[in-house]
Structure 1
Amino acid sequence: MAMVWGQGELFPTANEKEIQRTKFLLKKYKEMTILMQDFENYEEELKQTAVDGETARRIDQEDLHADKTANAAILIEKQRWVYQQYRFYTHQLRRAWGLILDVEEKRAIEYRYIQGYSRKETLLFFRHSMSDSTVRRKIDDGVMSIANTLKLIGFFEQEIKKFQM
């Protein structure tokens, strides 16, 4: 795995695009975990629904007489692929979150993104121990820490390679 860092850079820092990607994935974290759990719990039912239901009748809206069984198989594989992508993303985010050294940053990120509370709810939760601006700064610093860790472990390069294939 070739790392594209600055010369002599032992701990790379994430660029603005990587920070924004990290923030986007963190905002989707709770949704991804819920969908993964649903897929794990109801995979067989999803398969049966794809075969029996109208979802697989026409994957392509242009196709008036589609092979429903073949389309159901494609739909099931697509759902499995999405599940595997979500597992990869959530695992890497959780791994990077676990490496945050500042306890307050870690707690703020956990409450805001891992547990999925809104920014306002997070501010209210920490109101007794920190000011609103401190909570915002801890969240921003935590996102930066996660983005830097993701860069260090090669996450962004892996992600680019996956979509270039």
Structure 2
Amino acid sequence: MAMVWGQGELFAKANKQEIQRTKFLLDKYTDMVSLMRDFEQFEQDLQQITIEGEAARRIDQTDLHADKTANATILIEKQRWVYKRYQFYTHQLERAHRLIKDEEARQAVEYRYIQGYSRKETILFFRRSFSDSTIKRKIDDGVESIANTLKLIGFFEQDDTNF
């Protein structure tokens, strides 16, 4: 794992693209958790539906004849692969979230992304304690902290998907 950091840099700083990738993953966090729970609860049902259903009949619409069993196996493996990727993403995000040093930023990120509230709802929730601009800054600082932690632990090198 080759990490490219600036000369004399002890802790890596995430670049704009890595911060955007982090924000994207945080935006999708609650969806990923919901889909993972659904997959865990109904994996057997999903496999049965895939085998019996029309989804496995033809993966490629140009196929005139398709092996339904083989295609069902491919779809089941794809579902497992997506589940594993979501597990990886959510685990790393949770880990980086726990390492945010600023308690207020951690709480703002928790409410905004981990619990899944909108930016407006988050601002309204914290409005008694902070001004709107302070809350926005705390959220942005928390996201940047998560991105920096992800960079430090090598997440972006492991995340082989193109963003």
**TM-score (norm: length of structure 1):** 0.95
Listed as ranges, the matches of 1:42-81 within 5 Å are 42-81=42-81
Equivalent residue number for residue 18 of structure 1: 18
- Displacement of 1:127 in angstroms is 1.2
Equivalent residue number for residue 103 of structure 1: 103
Deviations 1:49-72 (A, max 9, x none): 000111111111111221111110
Secondary structure, aligned partner of 2:109: helix
Equivalent residue number for residue 132 of structure 1: 132
Letter of the 2:34 partner, please give it.
I
| In structure 1, C-alpha distance between the alignment counterparts of 2:64 and 2:76, rounded to whole Å | 21
| In structure 2, C-alpha distance between the alignment counterparts of 1:115 and 1:61, rounded to whole Å | 39
| In structure 1, C-alpha distance between the alignment counterparts of 2:4 and 2:159, rounded to whole Å | 14
Gapped regions of structure 2 (runs ≥ 5): none
Q: Percent identity?
A: 73
- Displacement of 1:90 in angstroms is 0.4
| In structure 2, C-alpha distance between the alignment counterparts of 1:109 and 1:56, rounded to whole Å | 40
- May I ask how many residue pairs the two structures share in their alignment? 162
Equivalent residue number for residue 31 of structure 1: 31
Secondary structure, aligned partner of 2:23: helix
Secondary structure, aligned partner of 1:55: helix
- Displacement of 1:13 in angstroms is 0.4
CA RMSD of aligned residues (A): 1.1
Listed as ranges, the matches of 1:141-160 within 5 Å are 141-160=141-160
| In structure 1, C-alpha distance between the alignment counterparts of 2:96 and 2:67, rounded to whole Å | 44
| In structure 2, C-alpha distance between the alignment counterparts of 1:14 and 1:62, rounded to whole Å | 43
Letter of the 2:127 partner, please give it.
R
Letter of the 1:58 partner, please give it.
R
Deviations 1:80-118 (A, max 9, x none): 000000000000000000000111100000010001111
Give structure 1 regions of 4+ aligned residues with deviation exceeding 4 angstroms. none
Gapped regions of structure 1 (runs ≥ 5): none
**TM-score (norm: length of structure 2):** 0.96
| In structure 2, C-alpha distance between the alignment counterparts of 1:33 and 1:18, rounded to whole Å | 21
